[in-house]
Amino acid sequence: MNETFNMALTKKQMDDVMETIELYDTFDSIVGLFVAKGIKETAERDKIPFEREVLEYQLIVNIYY
């Protein structure tokens, strides 16, 4: 942090930064999951061809990330 941002953080502050990053990743995964689920349901409903394996992979990745 000191080299990149020219600032020093305590261990507690670094832990807070890491927690924020983890929460953001969790939020990102949840959004990705709902996007993939919405695409899948719309494609199935409207009979739009799609690669099921690719979409299922995206669902799995976002669930377990």
For 35-52, the pLDDT digits (tens) are 999 999 999 999 999 999
Is residue 59 within 8 A of residue 36, CB to CB? The reply is yes
Residue 29 pLDDT class (50, 70, 90 cuts): confident
Task: Decide if 8 contacts 2 (C-beta within 8 A).
Answer: yes
Cα distances from 42 to residues 13, 25, 62, in angstroms, run: 44, 26, 18
**pTM for this model (two decimals):** 0.63
CB 44 within 8 A of CB 21: no
